[in-house]
Structure 1
Amino acid sequence: MPEDMVATTPKPGTAPAAAPGPRAYVQEAAGLVLLLALAVGCFVILRPFLAAILWAVILTFSTWPIYRFLVKRLGGREGPAAVVMTLLVALVLLLPLVILGSRLAEGVVGLAEGIRSLLQQGPPPPPRWIADLPFLGPDLTRAWEEMAHDGAGLAESLRPYVGPARDWALAQGAALAGGIFETAVSVLTAFFLYVHGTAVVRMADAVFRRVAGDRSRRLMEIAGSTIKGVVHGVLGTALVQAVLATAGFWVAQVPGAFLLGFLSFFLSLFPGGLLLAWIPAAAWLFAEGQREWGIFIIIWNLLVVGTIDNFLKPYVISRGGSLPILMILFGVMGGIIAFGFIGIFLGPTLLAIGYSLIQEWGKDEDAPVPGGR
């Protein structure tokens, strides 16, 4: 007798199991609806903090070896080690952003005063180096002098742009304040991840096993190695850019070259952030009459410092995983477009997991069939 028939044949003296009725299906459907509603509610509540939570996970994962070292040095006490580690992360990430925000606020106030003075009194006489510019020097000098003599006309021509410029400055200030708040939430979340990191990893492993089965451990390893590669690529590229920017400031004899280089390390982590470091330096050089060095700073930062990350970052990230460099480049660029700055980490990680799944499924298809057929 076939096994399936034996398995389904009821034992003597027992009634066959009754098929689930409509009421059971309704209860099961209601349970699924409630579970879906709960998931949606949790997502809506956590949505404003998702980026901060992802940042906290990345920070905790990338600095976990340092945390375990602190735990050993403190006699196995995880609480004090988590406090020390959180303070270190806040010192490295949060403090520079706060300093940068205060400096930018002072700069915006000074810029507003300068614009108000420009509208009321007109521009100062043109500097001498403008007249020495080839081809355009005399024309620029003549136009500058005309504007200086016609302060009312200049004020009237610039007035339509004052409102949009003010709105843009306020928007940038709000974005910076939001970034500082998000970083503060990430640092606070990282503290709890340090304390409960082992339990969180066990829970994540159990969830992934239910979803991905035997492939879960492999996928987690791929995600971990990709995140490490991205962290090393982002921080390593930022360090190289900061060193190159510092060298340029030092050669051009810009005051505070090493401080500007230190700020360049953090500013390079944000798209277009390096502009906040080298544009004021170039403007100072032009104002001091050192136009050659000002042009050097512009060319050096545009062609060298600002472009090296397009090649160095994908290469370093690809060394940390099995994803090709082209896919890394697509992952970084597409991730930034889709998710913002956090997409630098999400894009390559998602592509690496998808690439690994495609490779494994391809191997399964090519596997020999038992019996040689």
Structure 2
Amino acid sequence: MSFESTPDRTGPIDPTRSQQVARGILVLLLVLLGLFTLQDFLISLAWAAVFAIAIWPLFRRAKRRWPPGKHNLLMPLVFTSAVALIFVVPLLLIGIEAAREAQGVLVWVDHARQSGVPVPPALEHLPVGSEAATNWWRQHLTDPGDANTLFRQLKPARSVAMTRQLGSQVAHRVTLFAFTIITLFFLFREGEDVTAQMLVASRRAFGERGERIGRQMIASVHGTVDGLVLVGLGEGVILGGAYAIAGAPHPTLFGVLTAVAAMIPFCAVIAVALASLLVVASGSAAFGIALFAFGMVVIFVSDHFIRPVLIGGATKLPFLWVLLGILGGVESWGLLGLFLGPAIMAALILLWREWTAPAGSKSA
């Protein structure tokens, strides 16, 4: 028996309609199988793509200044490590601070079980609800017996179960973050080839319009990073300094929380209000009110003047659609929606403008 290939005497055969349909079904099936296989890592892939798009201009400038060597490993490794440290260092600081606070809470609970806890003077300075809070404290924490009853109601077994569940969630998030960083390294390393392949694929599938939509979405990601991340960090630095001046507890930690909350429009109000209430509760009502007023001014200027220019200016996207994209994206996709939402809105607005443009005019 011979396994040699026989010569093709029929010549090239054009695919029939049924073959084209079968080929399309096969491609769709393979894509669905690939998505099903990677379903637990799709978020990591999306985050890696967002990071790569956001940092790519800086990465290209660095490559032009320091051309890569033979293996092209050093520059991707440096940028990937920098991105990892941006997230790891603050989380470590927060974890260390939380561990210290947890130790203090355990000491406080042990002291409360033995001697009770007297009413703190700060409750008397609350602008609202001072009397009710003071009465509740006297009924539940002043007497050691009442304090023990309250702490027994916390159900330690449930707390242990919640701690285990939290630990498993943290381990899962750490795994996804590690996969994101690994993917980001390969995107930096093979970014030019991946970009060229994506352009070719978009032209073949959608023509010139597909390339325009892709560029519009990439510009939206750049604008969103500038408008959300950079502005949020700026708000955190400014308000962190204000917290320190006003005498708020843990001003650095509150500054970090404010920076994270400020990446979502109007959410920084919660952090500012909490810090202001703590300042008022400590007996400095004037400083607390001044801190809240200053924080509202900073948030108003950032959300109504700076962000619309940075986000909408990159894609000519109206602020209303920027806001809807951000809030709707967060509602649908979580934190990843901060970047996906405006990118989707930018693509839709581009399609709308092209569809409604007068005949013969060119799209912007």
Give TM-score scaled by structure 1 length: 0.75
- Closer/same/farther in 2, CA of residues 135 and 217 from structure 1, 3 Å limit: closer
- Closer/same/farther in 2, CA of residues 245 and 34 from structure 1, 3 Å limit: same
Structure 2 match to 1:227: 221
SS across alignment from 2:320: helix
Q: CA deviation at 1:213?
A: 1.1
Question: Please, which of 139, 143, 148 is the counterpart of residue 146 of structure 1?
Answer: 139
Q: CA deviation at 1:291?
A: 4.4
**Distance in structure 1 (CA, Å) of the matches to 2:254 and 2:128:** 34
Structure 2 residue runs of 5 or longer lacking an equivalent are: 1-12
Structure 2 match to 1:356: 350
- Closer/same/farther in 2, CA of residues 274 and 188 from structure 1, 3 Å limit: farther
Preserved CA contact (<8 Å) 1:246 1:260: yes
- Superposed CA offset, 1:123-179 (max 9, x none): 421123434556854554444333344443444356445567776666666555544
Question: Please, which of 179, 182, 191 is the counterpart of residue 188 of structure 1?
Answer: 182
Asked if residue 344 in structure 1 is aligned to residue 338 in structure 2, the reply is yes
Q: CA deviation at 1:341?
A: 0.6
- Closer/same/farther in 2, CA of residues 339 and 143 from structure 1, 3 Å limit: closer
- Give the letter aligned to residue 57 of structure 2: P
- Closer/same/farther in 2, CA of residues 336 and 112 from structure 1, 3 Å limit: farther
Preserved CA contact (<8 Å) 1:282 1:298: no
Asked if residue 82 in structure 1 is aligned to residue 76 in structure 2, the reply is yes
Preserved CA contact (<8 Å) 1:122 1:147: no
Structure 2 match to 1:69: 61
Moved more, 270-279 or 251-260: 270-279
**Distance in structure 2 (CA, Å) of the matches to 1:192 and 1:121:** 58
SS across alignment from 2:316: coil
- Give the letter aligned to residue 37 of structure 1: L
Structure 1 match to 2:210: 216
**Distance in structure 2 (CA, Å) of the matches to 1:337 and 1:257:** 29
SS across alignment from 2:67: coil
Alpha-carbon RMSD across the aligned residues, in angstroms, is: 3.9
SS across alignment from 1:66: helix
1:134-173 to 2 correspondence within 5 Å? 137-138=130-131, 140-157=133-150, 159-162=152-155
Structure 1 residue runs of 5 or longer lacking an equivalent are: 1-17, 369-373
SS across alignment from 1:320: helix
Preserved CA contact (<8 Å) 2:116 2:143: no
SS across alignment from 1:63: helix
Q: CA deviation at 1:332?
A: 0.5
**Distance in structure 2 (CA, Å) of the matches to 1:302 and 1:115:** 34
1:1-373 to 2 correspondence within 5 Å? 25=18, 31-77=23-69, 78-108=72-102, 110-111=104-105, 114-115=108-109, 117-118=111-112, 120-121=113-114, 123-131=116-124, 137-138=130-131, 140-157=133-150, 159-162=152-155, 178-254=172-248, 257=251, 261=255, 264-266=258-260, 268-269=262-263, 283=278, 289-292=282-285, 295-296=288-289, 299=292, 303=296, 310-311=303-304, 312-363=306-357, 366-367=359-360
- Closer/same/farther in 2, CA of residues 228 and 105 from structure 1, 3 Å limit: same
Name the count of aligned residue pairs. 344
- Closer/same/farther in 2, CA of residues 315 and 291 from structure 1, 3 Å limit: same
Give TM-score scaled by structure 2 length: 0.77
Preserved CA contact (<8 Å) 1:123 1:147: no
- Closer/same/farther in 2, CA of residues 213 and 109 from structure 1, 3 Å limit: farther
- Give the letter aligned to residue 83 of structure 2: V
Q: CA deviation at 1:251?
A: 1.4
Q: Which has the larger radius of gyration?
A: 1
- Closer/same/farther in 2, CA of residues 222 and 330 from structure 1, 3 Å limit: same
- Closer/same/farther in 2, CA of residues 154 and 306 from structure 1, 3 Å limit: farther
**Distance in structure 2 (CA, Å) of the matches to 1:98 and 1:178:** 17
**Distance in structure 1 (CA, Å) of the matches to 2:325 and 2:111:** 47
**Identical positions, percent:** 24
Q: CA deviation at 1:344?
A: 0.9
Q: CA deviation at 1:249?
A: 1.7
Structure 2 match to 1:5: none
- Give the letter aligned to residue 228 of structure 2: V
- Give the letter aligned to residue 54 of structure 1: A
